[in-house]
Amino acid sequence: MKKIFIDGRVGTTGLQIYQRLDSRKDIQVLTLPEEQRKEPKFRQEMFNQADIVFLCLPDEAARQAVELVENPDTVVIDTSTAHRTNPDWAYGFPELSAAHREKIIHSKRIANPGCHASGFISIVYPLVAMGILPHDAQVSCFSLTGYSGGGKKMIAQYEGAKTAEMDSPALYAIGQGHKHLPEMQLICGLDKAPVFCPVVDDYYKGMATTVTLHAGQLKGVSGLEDLRQRLMQHYAGQKLVRVSDGTEGIVDGKIYGNTLAGKDTMLLIPAGSDEQITITALFDNLGKGASGAAVQNMNLILGLPEETGLDL
């Protein structure tokens, strides 16, 4: 039986991973007593006993934790931003291509994608890979998330004595320095980082990441339905990412950000007209945007069906 250790199990992402693994009988989850869980000595013992280690830590702590792994057979899945642009690490989004999937399966180091980045990359990567969107395209994106995307501190702010302003959506990272931008640009192969507008609102979880496109930016497609079909072809056969037929995910002409809250899947919704197109990725920021994706990557490494233990 494979041994799994979650470093940072009490944080939002770590707790969600633990909840997905706790009832499984095919793996053993290693844990430390409360008084030992922050001690490097005991954590290192767990790292080197485990077959797979999840790092659910701030960036610098994740970099330091990797240095403690001495067992050459231990696989590390890092959910922080620390290694997402490191070419020596597999980028943990298997649906992007067969090459991404194979690298995950055979790597000892996997960087789990960011939540906003997962939505953006799910849309833009296939368009660039298929030659529909050029590498030098100037792309814009806005992304709505529930407040759990901000971790324990933001959850406490929204569920405590919040200010009156917090009843309304808040645009943040307005200086175009969001930590997901480097991976969004690199993984998609864009010459320039996108203009990115993340928005947090007063609901717990669920994400809607939208890329806006004009027909003049696109090559080799004849309009909205043609673009939909091309995306469907790219994601054909995938179990956790699918493309809307034009009705799925839309309610009375609206797309709601919490539609897939509690799920580990992602739904892409092309909409608009032949001239002005939006593509929205709907998913749970704690599911396919974080913990669900991490468990999916673990399943692939273990040779299991990738949806094992996940909520479809």
Q: How is residue 275 written in tokens? A: 């001239």
Amino acid letter at 257? G
Q: How is residue 22 written in tokens? A: 């706790």
Q: How is residue 66 written in tokens? A: 């990797």
Q: Which of 119, 95, 136 is nearest to 199 (CA)?
A: 119
Instruction: Based on DSSP, count helices (H) and strands (E) in the chain, helices before strands.
Output: 9, 13
Q: Indicate the helix (H) or strand (E) that contains 207.
A: strand 207-214
What phi and psi, each to the nearest 5 degrees, are found at residue 228?
A: -60, -45
Neighbour-count burial for 260-275, b at 16+ CB within 10 Å, e otherwise: bbebbbbbbbbbbeee
Q: Indicate the helix (H) or strand (E) that contains 119.
A: helix 115-129
Residue entry with tokens 């010459």: 191
Contact, 54 vs 294, CB < 8 A? yes
Give the Cα separation of 284 and 189 in Å (integer).
25
Coil vs helix vs strand at 266:
strand
Contact, 271 vs 250, CB < 8 A? yes
Catalytic sites, residue numbers? 115
Q: How is residue 19 written in tokens? A: 């909840």
Coil vs helix vs strand at 82:
coil
Angle at 113 between CA 261 and CA 295, to 5 degrees: 65
